[in-house]
Each structure stands twice: as structure tokens, then as C-alpha cells.
Amino acid sequence: MRYTRAALALVLVGGWFPMAHSDEGMWLLNDPPRQLLKERHQFDLTDPWLKNAMLASVRLNSGGSGGFVSPDGLFVTNHHVAADSLQKLSAAGRDLLRDGFYADARDKELKCPDQEINVLQDIADVTKEVNAAVKPEMTAAEAFAARRAVMGRIEKESLDKTGLRSDVVTLYNGGLYHLYRYKKYTDVRLVFAPEKQIASFGGDVDNFEYPRMNLDVTFFRAYENGQPAKTPHFLKWSQVGPQSGELVFVTGHPGTTQRLETLARLKHRRDELLPYTLYRLRTLEAALKQYGEQSPECARQAATDLHSVANARKAFSGQLQGLLDPNIMEQKQAAERDLLLGAARAAEPKGRSAFDDAMNALAKVEAVQAKLRGFEKAHALVETGHAFFSPLFGIARHCVRMGDELPKKSADRLREYRDSNLESLKYQLFSPAPLYPELERAKLTASLTFLAENLGGEHDLVKLALAGKNPAARAEELTAGTKLFAPAERKRLVEGGAQAVAESKDPLIQLARAIDAEARKLRARYENEVEEPERQAYAALAAVRFMTYGSTVAPDATFTLRLAFGTVQGYEVGGEKLNFHTTFGEAFEKSAKLGGAEPFDLPKRWLDGKDKLDLKTPFNFVSTADTIGGNSGSPVLNRAGELVGINFDRNRHGLVRNFVYTDVQARHIAVHSKAVLEALRKLYPAAPLVKELVRQ
């Protein structure tokens, strides 16, 4: 039987085959690919190696990864991951995102207004406990509620017992449930950031492209009790960096992949979800660009939103090209057929029921897509909040919902309001980070317009949201009238509960209240008609997959810590061989060739300091390791567990990795550890930072 499957695989192109036969896999830390690493790379993954990597890996809750690089809480991540904090630490006339920052003494390090980082401490399998709470006779709604309740209870108990942030994570779309416990730091201070020009040299043009020359790094320090955190588990900074052909590892927090999704779901993605998403992103991008073009200060205000939106637009565009590629869809179809074949050929009666289970599960997922079409946009617009593209709306909704939810038992609340999450939620909600009324107005105008464009002017939800005005006038009314810019007002409303909310005349609070019944209905439909049936179906598919392939397939990404491995190597495009690394010199050459025009302009510091630099210093490098969005800032480690790079991107060939792993041309891209040292030594007045990195 193995032969048959292997033979089938041979007739198909690329890396679709669900048994890892390459460097594929974002592996669970509690189920690492020891065997594979031994077979493919003659590497013995030891427990101490793994433990150090885990405890030195950082998750930034603004969305990204990082790694401790000194015993005193210093960690590195990407500049584009740090952008959120850099922006929030900036103001008119003081643009840290654009100009960079360096604190040459601890007391000059700048506390971020709302950055939270998490460091994974351990993982426990709670699948049985979660599944035991869901009885076969339950309706989808009952099952959903029961599962939510048991997950909430497990988290609460863990939090009470350990004091650690405790999250139950759904793996394999419902195949497994693991409890993740994190040490949490909320006092995070900025140490060093370079200028944006060099951090993202080439800007949107070169995003998801290689060759690349980006110093996409920023250093923060975690604090505890007002002192630098003690982080005995950290990554030694390699002064050598990686060589071609070398085995490397990436530890980080890949956000989401869809490799185990069924063909029906992927078609839905291709024909419904991705077009809607791109329509939305291009709408927001146009609005943000227009806002930014009004003046340099407007451009500053819109910079991080614009980057996120443009980055997402490019990533989703690549995904859509992937799903519109008949080769890829054929691979997915073959994989599905193969799973069915595998199940059917298992010994009776296991095979028969596995085959039926898989068939039923596939049909169930397909049926869900048909239902979804009827309310997916309304759900995304009103419950997910695409109609209200402003943190102000999120704030208003939390105030409204906390009034209703907090009086309930933790297990019965909407999941984001469970006790174990409240501290982190409030930390974000009461953040003093600045918001700009005119920017929020522009974003609300665009997104309210987008709402009307999608649902039509006669739709009840549109009428409810617009309240007798056109989108532009309504956005003006909302931003001019709200007091939610002030954290104190948010606190007052949360502390005052449902009554304070009900009495509030704030137009944003009133909007969030007015649509809440409908939004909750849409959410319930989504939970009961989509999430729960899909979870059950995917759990069945996962069981068949385990039976057929064992655990040789890693679960889809879930923004939790994973270990990937890969080989450092260049690749070929259109006959041109691309080296595995670029150099400082190439940045200067490219900029000169393009007349130094934005986004290929270099910082003055770099132009002035060019002669001081060794232009042959490796700048960025690529490997075949399996990464995705969320891995930004991930440490890249060598066999010795030293940091040889900081992952910051993947190339355009890697954009299809949401659906299929391929290593023909697809690569992730990292900043070379030597580049950071050379730049810090020669261009920046950052001697103490260099000393901290290399003292070990």
C-alpha cells in the first residue's frame, strides 16, 4: 500500500503529497520532527536544544515573532513587526518609524504603550477533555457552546494554578486541542530601530521579492518589575552566519495556513473570500494613500496602516494567483483522492468506516461553503468589523459587549471575554497610544462606503450603520462626536458596565449598540453553521489522516510556536541564478541604478557611511524552511542553536505556501546575523548594543 501511494505521488508535480518528503512542516514543539531531521539532515534534535529554542522564542501580540538574544531581556524582531510600536511612540515632528531610534543607556529605552509579548513555557494535550464535553446528540449550537465552555474552564484553571497566560489551541482544524502556557511581559521597551528606508529598502515594490537588501530588525527589551527581565534562555548571536547548504531552523509563530483545507473550501476561498478580501484591501489602500498624500504629517499617521494593508494585499494576491493556477488545484484534488484511497485500502472494517467518514466530512465541508455564501459578507462586515475600519469601533464594541458579557460566568461569555484573556484585552483597550481623528474619519468613510457597496443601499444593516447619512457624513459625525479617543472614557464605560453604556450619548457607542443584536446573530450563525460543522468534519478528516499517515503531517498554522527547518540555498528564476545571500554593496548599486528614487532611497547615514562599510558583508539570505506570515521576526538558528538570521519575508514563489509547500523556488528571506553586527558597528552609535550581543 505504501508503494501504491508513492507511485501515485510520482505522477504528480511538486510538494502536494501529505507525507513530508521535503523540508515541509511547521512542527509542534511537543511533537518535533526528530526522525525526519535525523534521516534528511543527520541532525539529532536534543531536548536541551529544543528547550532553549522554545524559551528563547518570543511572540509579539501585535502579530509577529522574535527571540531573546541576551540574558537581560533583550530580544530582536523585525522592524516591520515593531512598526506598530514605533508608530505609537511617534508624534507629529518625532517620527521613530521613519527615522529610527537608539537608546544608549537603559534609562533611555522607551516603554511601548500596549506591546505584550508571550513566551511559551509548556504544552499539554487536552483533546480528550475537550472532546468529552461534546456529546454526539448535541446540536451544533450546543456543541459549540459546550466546547467553548470546557476550553474556558481549562484555561481558567490553568491560569489560577500557574499564573501563566493559558490558551487552548485548536489544531488540525479540530483534530487536537492543546493547552499552551505562556509567560507574559507587558513592559516592553524600545532599544534600537534603524531608519525605515533601510529596514524596508524597496518598500512595497520589493516586498515578497528576492534578491533583497533590508535591515529589517528592531531590538526591544522585556522588563519585569521595572527591571530588565532575566532571560537565561537566549540565543547566542552568530558572528559567522549561515553557509550555503547549511541546515537551519526557524522558531516562530506562523499565523495561518490552509494546507489541510478541502478542495471545496479552497474553491470557496478562490471564488468568494479572496476576491472580497482583495476588494476590501484595495479599497482601504486607496483610502490610506489618498489620506497620506495630503501632507507629510498625514503620510506619517497613515504609515503603519498602509504598510499592513499593502502587505496583506500582496500576500492575498499571491494566494489568489496560486488558487487560480490549475496545477495547484490539481495537486489539492489529487491529495484528497489520495486520502480517500488510503482510507479505503486500510484493513476492514477500519477502512470502510474511515472511507465513509472522510467522504461524509468532505461533503459536510462543501455544504458549509454553500451556506456560508448567504451571509459571509454580512458577517465579515458587521461582526468581524470590516465595515468599521477603525480601532475606535473595536473599542466601542468592547465597551458595549463587556457590559453585557462580564456579568455572565466566564465559560458562558463570548470567547474573547473569558477570564483568562481579560488582562491582555484591557491592556489593549486602555492603551494610551495616539489616534488621529482625521485619519480615523478617512478610514471610517472608506469602510462604511465599502459596507454599502457590498450590501447595497437598501440593506437594513447599511441603514442601521449609516443612520440616514451618506458614509462620508456619517464618518464625520462619528469621529467628531466620540469621546473614545480618551482611554479614561473607555475605562469609565467598562467600569460603569451595561448601565454606563446604555446612558452614553457617544455616537460610536450608540452605533456599536445599534448593530449588536444583528452582529451577534451573524456570529452565532457563523459559529453554528460554519465553525462547528467544519471543526467536526476536519476532526474526522484528521482522524483518517492520522490513521493513514500517522503524525507525519504538521497541523496548519495557528499563531502558536512552531519549529521549521530548511536548507540555505539560492535558486533560479528565468535562467538567472540567485545567490543564497545578497550584500550591502547590492543595496547601494540598486539605489544608484534607480536614481535613489523612493522606495529605493537610502538613509543619509548609509550614503555618508558607505566607505566605512565592508560592502561584501552578506545582507539577506534565503532557505527552504517552511514559514508564513506571523513568522516575521523569527530567529533563524543553526545546528548549534545560535542565531544566524532574523526571518522577515518570503519570496513571491512562497506565497502559495498557504496551500502547498514547495521548495523549487519558494524561499523565506532573513537578515544575516553579520549584517546586523556590521551595520551596528560601522554606522550606528550603538557600541553597547553590539557588546551585549557578542559578549557571550
d(CA 297, CA 439): 11
Q: Rule CB under 8 A: is residue 285 a binding residue for a second copy?
A: yes
Considering only residues 21, 233, 289, 492, which one is a binding residue for a second copy as defined by CB under 8 A?
289
Nearer to a second copy, 514 or 547 (CB): 514
Considering only residues 93, 232, 349, 595, which one is a binding residue for a second copy as defined by CB under 8 A?
595
Q: Rule CB under 8 A: is residue 323 a binding residue for a second copy?
A: yes
Q: Rule CB under 8 A: is residue 14 a binding residue for a second copy?
A: no
d(CA 144, CA 138): 9
Residue 514 CB: number of other CB atoms within 10 A? 15
Coil vs helix vs strand at 581:
strand
Q: Measured between alpha carbons, how far is residue 73 from residues 312, 632, 634 in Å?
A: 31, 19, 16
Nearer to a second copy, 437 or 457 (CB): 457
Beta strands in 543-614 (DSSP E): 562-567, 571-573, 576-578, 581-583
Minimum Å distance from CB 473 to a second copy?
Answer: 8
Minimum Å distance from CB 509 to a second copy?
Answer: 23
Grid cell in block for residue 592? 544608484
Considering only residues 136, 326, 349, 685, which one is a binding residue for a second copy as defined by CB under 8 A?
326
d(CA 438, CA 507): 16
Q: Rule CB under 8 A: is residue 449 a binding residue for a second copy?
A: yes
Grid cell in block for residue 190? 524600545
d(CA 303, CA 298): 8
First-to-last alpha carbon distance for the chain, in angstroms, is 52
Residues 329-388 that bind a second copy (CB under 8 A): 329
Quick one: which of 521, 271, 301 has its CA closest to 433?
301
> Is there a contact between 501 and 516 (Cβ–Cβ < 8 Å)?
no
Spell out a b/e string for 309-348, using b for 16 or more CB atoms within 10 Å of the CB, else e.
Answer: bbbbbbbbbbbbebbeeeebbebbebbbebbbebbeebee
> Is there a contact between 207 and 644 (Cβ–Cβ < 8 Å)?
no
d(CA 279, CA 291): 18
Nearer to a second copy, 473 or 498 (CB): 473
Q: Rule CB under 8 A: is residue 324 a binding residue for a second copy?
A: yes
Minimum Å distance from CB 281 to a second copy?
Answer: 9
Residues 454-473 that bind a second copy (CB under 8 A): 454, 456-458, 466, 468-473
Nearer to a second copy, 445 or 624 (CB): 445
Q: Rule CB under 8 A: is residue 594 a binding residue for a second copy?
A: yes
Q: Which residue has the cell 469609565?
A: 492
Beta strands in 10-62 (DSSP E): 27-28, 57-60
Stretch that binds a second copy, among 11-19, 61-69, 449-457, 519-527 (CB under 8 A): 449-457
Q: Which residue has the cell 489539492?
A: 332
Stretch that binds a second copy, among 19-27, 95-103, 285-293, 400-408 (CB under 8 A): 285-293
Nearer to a second copy, 413 or 474 (CB): 474
Peptide bond into 228 cis (omega under 30): no
Q: Rule CB under 8 A: is residue 296 a binding residue for a second copy?
A: yes
Q: Rule CB under 8 A: is residue 601 a binding residue for a second copy?
A: no
Minimum Å distance from CB 275 to a second copy?
Answer: 4
Q: What single letter denotes the amino acid at residue 610?
A: K
Q: Rule CB under 8 A: is residue 286 a binding residue for a second copy?
A: yes
Q: Which residue has the cell 458549509?
A: 368
Q: Rule CB under 8 A: is residue 293 a binding residue for a second copy?
A: yes
- The pattern of x and - marking residues 205 through 244 that bind a second copy according to CB under 8 A reads x---------------------------------------
Minimum Å distance from CB 309 to a second copy?
Answer: 10
Stretch that binds a second copy, among 3-11, 349-357, 360-368, 591-599 (CB under 8 A): 591-599
Minimum Å distance from CB 579 to a second copy?
Answer: 22
Minimum Å distance from CB 633 to a second copy?
Answer: 25
- The pattern of x and - marking residues 244 through 283 that bind a second copy according to CB under 8 A reads -----------------------x--xxx-xx--xx--xx
Stretch that binds a second copy, among 45-53, 82-90, 292-300, 551-559 (CB under 8 A): 292-300
Q: Which residue has the cell 483518517?
A: 544
Quick one: which of 498, 275, 279 has its CA closest to 403?
498
Query: Angle at the Cα of 230 (from 229 to 234), degrees rounded to 5?
Result: 110
Nearer to a second copy, 131 or 321 (CB): 321
Considering only residues 203, 385, 434, 609, which one is a binding residue for a second copy as defined by CB under 8 A?
203
Q: Please name the residue ranges forming H helices in 550-603.
A: 584-593
Peptide bond into 555 cis (omega under 30): no
Minimum Å distance from CB 649 to a second copy?
Answer: 16
Q: Rule CB under 8 A: is residue 322 a binding residue for a second copy?
A: yes
Q: Rule CB under 8 A: is residue 453 a binding residue for a second copy?
A: yes
Q: Please name the residue ranges forming H helices in 63-119.
A: 79-88, 96-99
Q: Rule CB under 8 A: is residue 47 a binding residue for a second copy?
A: no
Minimum Å distance from CB 587 to a second copy?
Answer: 16
Q: Rule CB under 8 A: is residue 93 a binding residue for a second copy?
A: no
Count the site residues for a second copy by CB under 8 A.
52
Q: Rule CB under 8 A: is residue 136 a binding residue for a second copy?
A: no
Considering only residues 129, 142, 325, 438, which one is a binding residue for a second copy as defined by CB under 8 A?
325
Element (H, E) at 369: helix 350-373
Using N-to-C axis directions, what is the helix angle for 391-405 and 487-503, rounded to 10°?
50
On the CB side of 239, CA atoms within 13 Å amount to: 9
Residues 302-321 that bind a second copy (CB under 8 A): 313, 317, 320-321
> Is there a contact between 286 and 304 (Cβ–Cβ < 8 Å)?
no
Minimum Å distance from CB 469 to a second copy?
Answer: 8
Minimum Å distance from CB 413 to a second copy?
Answer: 36
Residues forming contacts to a second copy in the complex (CB under 8 A) are 203-205, 267, 270-272, 274-275, 278-279, 282-283, 285-286, 289-290, 293-296, 299, 313, 317, 320-326, 329, 449, 452-454, 456-458, 466, 468-473, 594-595, 597-600
